[in-house]
Structure formats: C-alpha cells, structure tokens
A = this chain, B = another copy of it.
Amino acid sequence: MDGTTPPAVLTIAGSDSSGGAGIQADLKAFTAFGCYGTSVITALTAQNTKGVQGVHPTPPEFLEQQLRAVLEDIDIKSIKTGMLYDAENTRRVASTLRAHFEDTARIPPLIVDPVAVSTSGHTLLHPEAVDVMAKELFPLAALITPNKPEAELLLSRKEGSAHARIETLEDMLSASERLLALGPKAVLVKGGHISLTLADVRKVVASRPDLAVVQENFLGENMEILQVSEEVLNARPLVVDVLREAKSVTLFVSPRIESTNTHGTGCTLAAAIASVLSKGEPMPEAVRQATIFTHVGIETAFPVGKGHGPLNHMHMLTRKLVPPPRPSNPHPLTRILIQSSKRTWKEYVEHEFVKQLAQGTLPKECFLHFIKQDYLYLKYYARAYGLLIAKSATYTSIQSATQTIMYIITEVTTHKSFCALWGISEAELSATPESPSTTAYGAYLLDIGLQGDSAKLIMALAACLLGYGEVGLWLKKEAAKPNSWVKLKGNQYLKWIEDYSGENYQAAVKLGIETIETLAVDNAPNARQFHEWCVIWEKCTRLEKGFWDASLNLL
C-alpha cells in the first residue's frame, strides 16, 4: 500500500458467512493494515448478525492439509488463531505448527484468541478443547487474548471455579498473571465485559506505580481546550484492557462505546494485533494500534443485518484516485487529465489556427497578433514559474523551475527574431496592448499561484507546456503521411512547427510530464485536490483555445 511488499499473515479460524467475524473479519483487518491475508478454515458456520445457525467442522486432516499448503509456500510473518471448534482440531493446529517449524522458537508471532462462546451464546469450542488449547497451544503463543468469560473459563479449569470470577481491575491484573503461568509470552485480558471508571483506574494505578497506562482516546495533558469537565470524565464508563508481558503490565484505557455493532470485535482485535506484529512492531504498540482500530471500527460501524452488526473494517482506508505508474501506463495522471478534458483538449491542439498555420494559409496578421500576444503572455508564464520557485521545498525543484524560465527566455528571443523578420521592432512588441484573452490566462496563472500550493500551480502551467508539444508532434506526424494536408515546404511558419516538434522543446515536455506524474505518486491527491487539479487543467486548456480564437477571429 505504501510501496513496500506487504507482510503475509495467516488466520486459522472459522468462516462466518455473514462476513463480520471469523476469517472474513480477519482478512478485512489484514487488508486494512496493508497485510497479505491467508486463511486456514477450521469450521464453516452458517451465521448472520442474529446468530449462528449451524457449524460444519473441517476434518482435522484437511485442516492440516490447508495449514501445510500455506506454510510450505508462503513466508508467514504472524499467525492468529480464532475458533478452533474441537479438541482434535486444536491439537492438530499445535502439532502441525510444531512439526513444520521443528524448533518452536521459529514459529512466527502467534496470537491465540481463545474463542469459546459467540456473542449470541453459541458454543464455538468444545469444553475438552479448552484444556488442549491451554496445554498445547498457549506455550507456542506470543499472546493470548481472552475476554472476561474466556479468562474465567480458563482459570476455572485450571484452579477450580472458586477463584475464577473477574469483576474488578484488580481481578483482571490477577487473572492476567495466573494466565501467563499457562505458558504464553504475554496475556491480554480484554475488559469489554467489565465496566470501570477513571476513579477505579486511578485507585489501582496509585498503588501500582509499575503499571504503564495508555489512554489514547481519552485524557491528554495540556488539552483543556478539548476537554469535558473532570466530573464528566470521572463518571464516564471505560473499557480497560490489561496487557501482561513477562516484565511489564500495560493498561489500555478507552471510553466505553454503547453499540450493537460488536459482532467480530474479538476476531478483529486479534487480527489487527497480528497485522502490526507482522511489521516487526513490539507487542504494546501492536495492542495500542489494534485497540484504536477496533474502537474506531465500532464507532463508525454502518448498518448490516438485523441483529448484532459487524464493525467497520474500512474506516482507515481511502481510495487512490490515480493508479500507480506501471509499464503498460507509465503516465496515468497525464492520461486522466487529457481524457477528462478530451473535447476541449482536442479543440485546443487541433485548432483551426494550427491547421491554417500548418498549411501555410494562416493570414500574416493573425500570426503576428498571436506572436505579439504570446510575447506578453510568456512574461506572466515566467513570473508564475517565479512563484513556483518561491513555493519550492527543494533545490531540485528550484533548479527545474529556473531551467524552465531559461527556456522561456530563449522562446521569447525566438519570438523577437520572428517579429524582426516581419518588420516589428522590440519597442513595438513591448508597446502592444494586451488582449483580454492574454490577461485572462496570464492573471489566472498568477491567481492559482497565489491561491494554492505548488501542485496546483504545476497543473496550471502544464496545459501550455504539454499542449504546444502535442501540436508539434501532431503536425510532424501528419506531415509524414503521404499526400499530407500539412505543407512544410515553403511554409512561412515552418520554423514555428520545427521548434515545437523539435528535440529541445520535447525534452521540456517530457520533464513536465515526469513532474506531473511524480506529483500523483509523492503527493497522492484526495478527492477534493484531484477535482481541483482536473478543473485547473481543463480551464487552462480552454484558455489556450481562447488564445488562438482571439488570434484567428481578429479578421
């Protein structure tokens, strides 16, 4: 997504036909984080937002076959497990991982989400599988992510139900410690089922200075201008997730969101953690990013189905408006610009003025009017490049714009010698009154230069540069055809045609196109900017046409 090869991530979980949980949620989360998703399906479910209607477990040997197919071919950077369904499948996942990686230290970061019961109350893990998971899978795990009922279930099977209840933040801290003893490298006890307040958190933190607290969407120092009152803050219900690693404990504190769009929350969180870990980030950073992703997903959920809807996995994504340059289309933005203004562009580059010029039939007065106005216009054009220099962030762009001004000065010299040829002195040239179409175009360039950033100005300057290049190449191509309508021989305007189809000018066009394409890559436009670029390009194309209209309609 950002030009680097996406890391491959694997989910081993159930399939949710309704797309909100299971491998479907995982694949969506992987994609949102720019990872390449693969999946081993442990069981199919017939499911929607109202509940689980049926489960069709995958035979263990076919589960293993899927897992081997992925591991033997693809360089997996992290793994998450979700619903494993029964003891045999759970055991098979552990044994296949151990067999494939031989040394368990070589297993990529493994997040075990100990899914046991669905939100709607459907059993998703057979009771005996709980023990297998704890015994065989937890020791391989970089992290396990139980919620309150799952943590209670795990603890009660280990210690008996007497001490397994989790009601307070202290209970969560204690539970995380006891669960860590089951063998995973880290434990995240999720607080979605336990309502806490800021006072609860402060009380615990006061007596436990070793606790790190991450409260991204909540409190911030020196943010009085954004804050509600202390009373409101203290009363607001919170969600606190407790991350325990071997040597540290981190609390992730977020405001509690009232929502029915919680289908797939656990899957999504674990998949998001796996995604961030696959990029080499440390565990607390992965949990931090994943917690925000999941919370924003719940808060920005859109309606799907009639029951507990899924969260929004796409809230972080936006669509690129210009495809990347590639061998079959190295200039996508230039193409889009030309295509989006197709008709005006054609009216400009195949203008009657150009046609008469190419046939040598253009009245001298028209050409002289044009060349004198162009002389005046090019002063605006050079000044606009001056503005571009003033807007430049790098010496490279300063140099490139300066080079263009030098081209313009050369072009103006040609204009002067043209005029001299036709008996017009430099004094007469300078004294020519500016026509409205010249002022319109020139002043518009400077207006864009004042209004916007360098990207907008580059767009405004492009139609002139590229259009004359297009005219030059078009005439050259037409002239090469047998019995061409273009008359080069004896044409009084030959030098003009040769200049714009010549190497020097075409090199400048090429540079201009590269600059435009670089803009789209380095400075990917959002919808508004893209629209502005297209509008500016189209307007300049029309102003170019108007410029020739004025010269032709003179008579």
Contacts and interface: CB of A to CB of B under 8 A. Distances in A.
Chain A at the B interface: mostly helix, strand, loop or mixed?
Answer: mixed
A304 B36 contact: yes
A474 B316 CA distance: 33
Interface string A327-365: 111010011001100100110011000000000000000
A323 B226 contact: no
A92 to B, nearest CB: 13
A326 interface: yes
Most buried by B among A65, A292, A335: A65
A69 B47 contact: yes
A545 interface: no
A41 B38 contact: no
Contacts of A513: 225-226
A296 interface: yes
A307 B31 contact: no
A223 B335 contact: yes
Interface stretch (A15-23, A78-86, A152-160, A370-378): A15-23
Given A69-B53, A225-B470, A342-B221, A526 B523 contact: yes
A214 to B, nearest CB: 12
A339 to B, nearest CB: 6
A398 to B, nearest CB: 12
A100 B433 CA distance: 76
Given A69-B18, A74-B49, A226-B334, A452 B453 contact: yes
Interface stretch (A54-62, A242-250, A416-424): A54-62
Contacts of A339: 220
Q: Which of A68, A316, A324, A393 has the most CB of B within 10 A?
A: A316
A524 interface: yes
Contact-size category for A: 35 or more
Interface in A58-115: 58-59, 62, 65-70, 72-74
Interface stretch (A1-9, A407-415, A484-492): A1-9
Interface string A207-231: 0000000000100111111100000
A41 to B, nearest CB: 6
Contacts of A303: 5
Contacts of A295: 328
A466 interface: yes
A524 B529 CA distance: 10
Interface in A524-549: 524-529
Given A34-B314, A300-B324, A466 B225 contact: yes
A28 interface: yes
Contact of A24 (B19, B27, B56, B527): B27
A225 B469 contact: yes
Interface in A284-322: 292, 295-296, 299-300, 302-307, 310, 313-320
A20 to B, nearest CB: 9
Nearest to A74: B305
B1 A314 contact: yes
Given A5-B303, A38-B17, A328-B299, A349 B317 contact: no
Interface of A: 1-2, 5-6, 8, 15, 17-19, 24, 27-28, 31-32, 34, 36-41, 44-50, 53-54, 56, 58-59, 62, 65-70, 72-74, 217, 220-226, 254-255, 257, 292, 295-296, 299-300, 302-307, 310, 313-320, 323-324, 326-329, 331, 334-335, 338-339, 342, 345-346, 349-350, 390-391, 393, 450-454, 456, 466, 469-470, 473-474, 477, 506, 509, 513, 522-529
15 contacts: A1-B319, A2-B319, A18-B74, A19-B27, A19-B38, A31-B31, A223-B338, A223-B470, A226-B338, A299-B327, A315-B323, A316-B323, A318-B319, A390-B451, A393-B451
Given A2-B527, A8-B304, A225-B473, 14 more contacts: A6-B302, A24-B27, A31-B32, A34-B317, A44-B62, A220-B339, A221-B342, A222-B345, A225-B469, A225-B509, A254-B328, A299-B327, A318-B319, A526-B526
